[in-house]
Structure 1
Amino acid sequence: MSLNIKSIRFILFFVLISSFSFAQKARIKGIVLNESNQPIENVSVSSPTSNTVTNNNGFYILEIDANTEVTITYSQNNFKKSTYKVKLKPNEDFEWNPILGTITETIETVVITGKNRKINGATAVSPVLLRRIPGGNAGVENLIKTLPGVYSNNELSTSYAVRGGNYDENLVYVNEIEVYRPFLVRSGQQEGLSFTNTDLVQNIDFYAGGFQAKYGDKLSSVLDIAYRNPKAFHAGLEASLMGGSIFAEGVSKNQKWSNITGIRYRNNSLLVKSQETETNYKPSFLDVQSMFNFNLNTKWNFSFLGNIAQNNYKYQPTTRQTNFGTVSEPIALLIDYEGQEKDKYTTFFGAIKSVYEPNKNNKYRYISSAYHTVEQEYYDILAQYRLGEVDANIGSETFGDVIFSRGIGSQLNHARNNLDALIVTNELKGNHKLNDNNGIEWSFKHNFENIRDRVVEWEVVDSAGFSLPNPLLEYVNDQPYNPYYGPLAPYQNVRAKNNTTINRFSAYLNWNHEGNLGEHTYYVNAGVRGQSWMVSNNGISGDNQLTFSPRAQFILKPKWEKEMIFRFSVGVYNQPPFYRELRANDGSVNPNVKDQKSIHFVLGHDYSFKMWERPFKLVSEAYYKTMNDVNTYTIDNVRIRYRANNDATAYVYGIDGRLNGEFVPGVESWFTFGYLKTEENQNGRGNIARPTDQRLKFAILFQDYMPNIPSLKMYLNLVYNTGLPGGSPAYADAYDYQMRLNDYRRADAGFSYVFKDAKLGAHRKWLANFTEMSLGFEIYNMFNNQNSITNTWVRDVYTKTQYGVPNYLTTRTFNLKLSMRI
């Protein structure tokens, strides 16, 4: 018994001593940044007794002795060494975010981050570039459209298609939170602003295919965006003829609280008024975003991201004249309008995220978000048209005027559409580092979606005094040659009222492994996703459906003299239907629409080399997708109408390439090339081109400066896409219309004078309080190309010919922009 008491005393004494020893430790943590406030990875952080390195996000945690003045050293080959002395209390957690200066200076900020193309196949883009590259809809999407595999033929829209997919097949994440778009938007000029505020962005990763299982259930691409966690006070302002933005960020004295807030306003009148249709156009696009961060301690972090956006769209067309046809037989369409359109889209978004990191090998995250959108689309527009022959005689007094009308008619469009949607998401995620070579990630997620939708829209078409019946009705109308005995019905008529509820449960498990094959390094990523969902509409429930998506990626980095990386990805990418995919052309909801299924094969190669003693990189990928249970659709401008019947199979194949580097010393630019082919087979009727079958794509993003005036910069954004299919009337049989729109050609240029940035203007005393200031002049559609997005279909009563009259996009437009930051 005495021995047991002694043992207990010894154990208690040992515990006390251990606790006392442990209490004499403290921890310093933070993020190591460069001069542009970007995180730096692989920075060595050391003290006399311990050391560590920063991770991919520049984050570090270092345990040091307490009650002792300790010198912390930060070092990395490409940056100047920095030291910091600190004396902490026992168990104290202290945050310090040092800024390292570069060793070598360059003339211009690099537009693509140093990693350029990440080893896992993602393209990493610098936020600095987002603010500088000109475009009619400047922002993340404007830059994404110049990357391989990404296609868009509408500068008024932020929507984009990737490798044969449509606008609804792209995932967008901000701080790991999935972002949703409005439902009713049907035209680019109604969209206003995309969700992503470029003033708040820190990192951007884009995957054009072959992405990991940790990303959600979509068929085409992933845009993964991270907002900044402020480390000091900064503010900025940007103003132009198309709107403006302002942001501010700061951090509390104890480094526990931080906030970044941005406000944006946009007005597309400058662009829309350059179109052929004369309009009274009063848009108002406004949004406010704010992110709060709270560091409870070094293990717990809490954040809140909120957004309120309102798009008011008032459109009152008056007249339009479009000339088309040939040189020998020019034809003109003249339209007089009556009526107006009033649309309103108000969205509310809020998300709470909690991160718990008990140690460096384990991390847990809980994310809860809610998205609420209230949308209305009201219009009554009467278009009275005249189709006529144009006087092509140059010496004639009526040159260019319509001298003979060969068709007259009218078209009345009416809509009273309302939608109210609520989406609530809860997700638990975990990351575990098993050892230096292995790690796993997992997640469990629940989505609740409730959509209340009322659709009332109809169209009446009258050609030369004879009302055209609905083309889906089996009645022949060949007036005036024979009397018409069929019913009087609108050309199109959609009426529906839906109350739809969707419950989804999804999960994924992902494994990461790094190993060696002799002297070569390889990486393996393998995982599986699963989702179960059930749809209920107007009290009628559909079947409970379940889908699985296994995916794998193999990467080889040979130890060769030439720096190369080889990638191969294969996986199943299934897309369970969202509300828009459930709603058919007639407005009814089919609760048993299946998930669209695809298998992706992606083979990629990265080659880094030097040319003219400057760094370059060539990235190339080949891909093939096979799809079944395809939910076919038509595209009306940027609105997608699904048939909701899973009645088709499809395939996509193509190649992408991008060469980027310093074509001008100190300034990085890139050239992009892409080819794809995609076809679908509806009910075994044979293959036809899908609406996104855009065969060729060329893009150039080029930067330059004047050597004698380095403050004067030039930016060029050039895109060429071959024409899309889709030159068919609404509700037409796609097999009867396989004509294509004209090629899309566009060049936007920007010229700016930089008064001050990280390299220039430091000697100007009046700029002492600014970190950046520039004044820019932009030219949109520099060569004034006539690009079209859809056709207006009119009938010649004499020949019974239907003409597809192009709806042209914007013409050449000029803009001024002032940007400043402190």
Structure 2
Amino acid sequence: MKNSIVFLVFSLFSVVAFSQKARVKGVILDEFKNPIENVTVKANEKVTVTNENGFYIIEIPANQKVVIVFSHQSFKNSTVSVELKTNEDFELNPVLNSKIEQMGELVITSNSKKRIDGVTTIDPVIIRMIPGANAGIENIIKTLPGVYSNNELSTSYAVRGGNYDENLVYVNEIEVYRPFLIRSGQQEGLSFTNTDMVENVDFSAGGFQSKYGDKLSSVLDITYRNPKRFKAGLEASLLGGSLTAEGVSKNQKWSNITGVRYRDNSLLVNSQETETNFKPTFFDVQTLLNFNASTKWNFSFLGNISQNKYNYQPLSRQTNFGTVSEPIALLVFYEGQEKDNYLTLFGAGKAVYQYNEKNKLKFIASAYHTQEQEYYDILAQYRLGEVDANIGSETFGDVVYTRGIGSQLTHARNDLDALIANAEVKGFHELNQKSQIEWGAKFTLEDIRDRIVEWEVIDSAGFSLPNPILDYQNDQPYNPYVGPLAPYQDVRATNYTRINRFSGYVQWNYRGKIGTHSYWLNTGIRGHQWQVDADGRPKGDIQMTFSPRVQFAFKPDWDKDMMFRLSGGLYHQPPFYRELRDYDGVVQTNVKAQQSFHLVLSGDYSFKMWTRPFKLVSEAYYKNITDVNTYTIDNVRIRYRANNEATAYAYGFDARLNGEFVPGTESWFSFGYMQTEENQNNKGFIARPTDQRLKFGVLFQDYMPNIPNLKLYLNLVYNTGLPGGSPSYADPYNYQLRLNDYRRADVGFSFVFKDEKIKSSKTWLKPFNEFSLGLEIFNLFNNQNAITNTWVRDVYTKSQYGIPNYMTTRVFNLKLIARL
């Protein structure tokens, strides 16, 4: 009873324990890789047999060693020992031999390798169930320490002082890319990753190995499922829906999983202050096809088609700000509209050649093609006035005195066509039981055609404001304006850019002992060569970087289960296309790679509390960054200066406690402190745009003791305010304003009619393995979170007001989940 009170604040429900289980499943094969029917699989008192495809599934107790025996009258027995965590699904595909009985125990601890590497593993079930305005993998990543995001509509996130462009994302070892022209979170629609197809998610916030690519901040490594039997799933909500189907051929050689998704952000966008006519369509199809040609060859194809159409017509807006004693309001009336279109085609083929037990080669080829257009003409006419704060007044809440009026006309005709092709080969070689060698070589071709035409005209009380970058003063009507007539902001450029890249790595893994203590060493180096060729500009120099990296993990032979890790090295980020384009939209061909020296010291402690498993992971880190390509952030759009003019640093401390706070469910509490600053041209250190000092995150699961069908999912995030209260065109040394703190709580209630643990005798539920109906409440406490400021001038006082652009308010959503 005492323990449940601790969590009453978060769940409002009591806690009772139920049995902690895990599952082992797979396909049993003979020496010729043919499936074996009617194999008896026994674990403790549980017994099952394989079907005609050799497939089996068996439930075992979690968090303890369990011996599984595979027996058949035509084959020798095979004995395997496994130890799994609660609710874990583990795939085990033993090969039975007709001559040799496999008596030696194979002890499997599923996450030991990832623990050594310092990788955070996230259960796909949690990803699918935890609520969020943009639910998915990124929604869960944002609750981890060291990961920051102040935009619930976006899948973008920043890690330990980096920005949105500094994160690696892989799906089945294939790098995926973000759209180029996205300006705001509500334009994104869908993440690339289809969570219904995911089998495994690994995340590293820094100090990662050489086998991962050339970015400065983090790695998100996602693996899609390889189906073992037919399954189908449907999810539907007021925000859209998804349909997933998977299956396998009779001979187990072919398998496929395909997902279709549709999303409509109207429910969320209509909760914002700006009244709009909003007609978005976000749609994609993904498929993964596998072919096991033989015991040595495996082939797979991953394909994706995504089309996002974003039609946006703002009508009006009223934002109240100021103080209690002096409330001010901004009233805006809009004319015009925005029409954006993003079409993405992605395909990747992968071949794996296992020529013996100790040597493996992988061949990967991929192509990413995106066509994006961003067209808008929007006229905003505003009034800035004082609000009647007299509660008894008939005009309470209305603007009674106008301080200033003005208008703003924005225009864009942006088009981009990008093709990115990759060819890669990887090798893995086990030298002996203690050491392995991994290597890889990759060629990348980037062909990008881009036209950017953006301008903005601002009129205040009938007087056009000049470009703030130009050194002209406008004090009309007192003195005539004699400067040039120019838009307030004007960006025009046409770029045809081609980049050839060669990259590679080699790394060595070693396992050893110091007395009775165990240690693991990983050391490697990456190399990257590239050259930028932009039409109409001098060809860039051939540039090259080398990035040595090392990881050392030490597990002392203590009674307490503890592990310590030290990792570090050089991390380079050769410029991608966005980083080559300066404020004027022109490609600079000789931008250098940003370089960061990482040092990460971490430790984790696994223990049991209330007889349930828990883990405490803590990390201290430091980054020294040179050749920094400074930038500004407006919502999610980043604009670089493309001149490598600064140095920077970042340091901080992260901690996460996760475990079964409620029996049978995983939850965690995370904390992060971070400071990052940059020094441009030796003018002194100032906060970087991602300098978010404090972060608290909670992911919590619970259920009602008397109604186990009713479950609760809670997602809490608190971040201190980001620097971002200044105009994007301004000198950052003159503006060091911060946005308000970001506070958000999303909660979901789900009534489970049937799943793996909750059975039902109702006839209409027999076809389903899982069926549930849920209610989600986004922004439970209706906090006002701002992403940027709109800057408005008062012509009388010559003051500038930063009016916050607030994100979504409280929103209710219904969700249906059905799986066969």
1:791 counterpart letter in structure 2: N
1:187 aligns with 2:177: no
SS at 2:196 equivalent: helix
Assess if the C-alpha contact under 8 Å between 1:52 and 1:62 holds in 2: no
1:272 aligns with 2:263: no
Q: Rate the CA distance shift 1:51–1:817 in 2: closer, same or farther, 3 A.
A: closer
How far apart, CA to CA, are the structure 1 residues paired with 2:385 and 2:114?
54
Deviation at 1:812, TM superposition (A): 0.2
Name the CA distance, whole Å, in 1 between partners of 2:605 and 2:320. 48
> 2:696 is matched by which residue type in structure 1?
F
Distance 1:126 1:50 in 2: 29
Aligned equivalents of 2:619 and 2:460: distance in 1? 50
Instruction: Name the structure 1 match of 2:439.
Output: 442
Q: In the TM superposition, what whole-angstrom CA distance separates every residue of 1:629-680 from its partner, at most 9, and x where no partner exists?
A: 0000000110000000000000000000011122222222110000000000
Does residue 488 (structure 1) correspond to residue 485 (structure 2)? The answer is yes
Q: How far does residue 544 in structure 1 lie from its aligned partner after superposition?
A: 0.2
Aligned to 1:95: none
Q: Which residues of 2 match residues 459-608 of structure 1 at below 5 A? A: 459-538=456-535, 540-608=538-606
Indicate the structure (1 or 2) with the bigger Cα radius of gyration.
1
After the TM superposition, which residues 341-360 of structure 1 pair with which residues of structure 2 at under 5 Å, given as runs?
Answer: 341-360=338-357
Q: TM-score, normalised by structure 2?
A: 0.90
Q: Per-residue CA shift, 1:187-237, capped at 9, x if unaligned?
A: 000000000000100000000001000000000000000000000000000
Contact 1:32 1:58 in 2 (8 A): no
Deviations 1:699-729 (A, max 9, x none): 1111111111111000110000000001111
Q: Which of 727, 730, 744 does residue 729 from structure 1 map onto? A: 727
Matches of 2:102 and 2:215, distance apart in 1? 46
Q: Which consecutive residues of structure 2, in runs of 5 or more, have no partner in the other structure?
A: 1-29, 36-53, 85-89
Corresponding residue for residue 710 of structure 1: 708
- State the Cα RMSD in Å: 2.4
Matched, 1:818 2:816: yes
Partner letter of residue 590 of structure 2?
N
The within-5 A match list for 1:669-688 is 669-688=667-686
Q: Is the 8 A contact 2:114 2:120 kept in 1?
A: yes
Other structure's SS at 1:581 match = helix
Residue of 205, 214, 219 corresponding to 2:216: 219
Q: Give the corresponding residue for 1:64.
A: 97
What is the deviation of 1:559? Answer: 1.2
What are the Cα deviations for residues 712-770 of structure 1, in whole angstroms up to 9, with x where unaligned?
A: 00011000000000111121111110000000000000000001111102443432211
CA distance in 1, matches of 2:383, 2:325: 20
1:32 Cα shift?
8.3
Q: 1:506 to 1:35 in 2, by over 3 A?
A: farther
**Would you say the 8 A contact 2:255–2:290 is kept in 1?**
yes
> Does the alignment pair 1:761 with 2:794?
no
1:287-341, Cα deviation, whole Å (9 max, x unpaired):
0000100010111000000000000000000000000000000000000000000
Deviates more, 1:517-526 or 1:51-60: 51-60
**Residue 230 of structure 2 aligns with which residue?**
233
Aligned residue type for 2:292: N
1:243 aligns with 2:248: no
CA contact (8 A) 1:123 1:206 kept: yes
SS at match of 2:405: strand
In the alignment, what sits opposite 2:693? Answer: 695
Q: Does the CA contact (< 8 Å) of 2:567 and 2:601 recur in 1? A: yes
**Which amino acid is 1:709 matched to?**
I
Mapping for residues 187-336 of structure 1, pairs under 5 Å: 187-336=184-333
Aligned mates of 1:362, 1:35 — CA distance in 2 = 33
Compare 117-126 and 203-212 and name the one that shifted more: 117-126
| 2:778 paired residue number | 780
Tell me if the contact between 2:82 and 2:106 (Cα under 8 Å) persists in the aligned partners: no
Give the Cα–Cα distance (whole angstroms) in 2 for the partners of residues 55 and 353 of structure 1.
32
Q: Which residue among 143, 147, 162 is the counterpart of 2:144?
A: 147
Q: Which residue of 2 aligns with 1:389?
A: 386
Say if 1:353 and 1:284 are closer, same or farther in 2 by CA, change over 3 A: same
| Structure 1 residue matching 2:713: 3-state secondary structure | strand
Aligned to 1:371: 368
2:542 and 2:80 map into 1 onto residues whose CA distance is 49
**Matched residue SS, 2:125:** helix
Q: Residue 551 of structure 2: SS of its match in structure 1?
A: strand
Structural mapping, 1:26-65, within 5 Å? 26-27=32-33, 48=76, 58=91, 62=95, 64-65=97-98
- Going from structure 1 to structure 2, the CA distance change for 1:624 and 1:762 (only over 3 Å counts) comes to same
Distance 1:380 1:374, change over 3 A: same
Q: Deviations for 1:377-408, whole angstroms, at most 9, x for unmatched residues?
A: 00000000000001111111111110110111
- What SS does structure 2 have at the residue aligned with 1:143? helix
Partner residue, 2:616: 618
1:586: how far off? 0.2
Paired residue for 2:418? Answer: 421
- The TM-score, its normalising length taken from structure 1, stands at 0.89
Name the SS for the 1:541 alignment partner. Answer: coil
Q: Is the 8 A contact 2:230 2:246 kept in 1?
A: yes
Structure 1 position 117, deviation (Å)? 6.5
SS in 1 for 2:97: strand
- Counterparts in 2 of 1:122-141, with a 5 A limit? 122-141=119-138
Mark the CA change 1:774 to 1:52 in structure 2 (over 3 Å): closer, same or farther.
closer
Matched, 1:654 2:652: yes
Query: Partners in 2 of 1:329 and 1:444 — Cα distance?
Result: 63
Counterparts in 2 of 1:656 and 1:32: CA distance versus 1, 3 Å: farther
How far 1:513 moved relative to its partner? Answer: 0.6
> Structure 1 residues 505, 43: CA separation in 2 closer, same or farther (over 3 Å shift)?
farther
1:31 and 1:652 map into 2 onto residues whose CA distance is: 50
Q: Does the 8 Å CA contact 2:79/2:103 hold for their aligned counterparts?
A: no
Whether the aligned pair in 1 keeps the contact of 2:414 and 2:453 (CA below 8 Å) is: yes
The runs of 5 or more residues in structure 1 that have no matched partner are: 1-23, 80-112
Does the CA-based 8 Å contact 1:26-1:63 persist in structure 2?
A: no
Whole-angstrom distance in 1 between the partners of 2:275 and 2:405: 20
Distance 2:80 2:297 in 1: 20
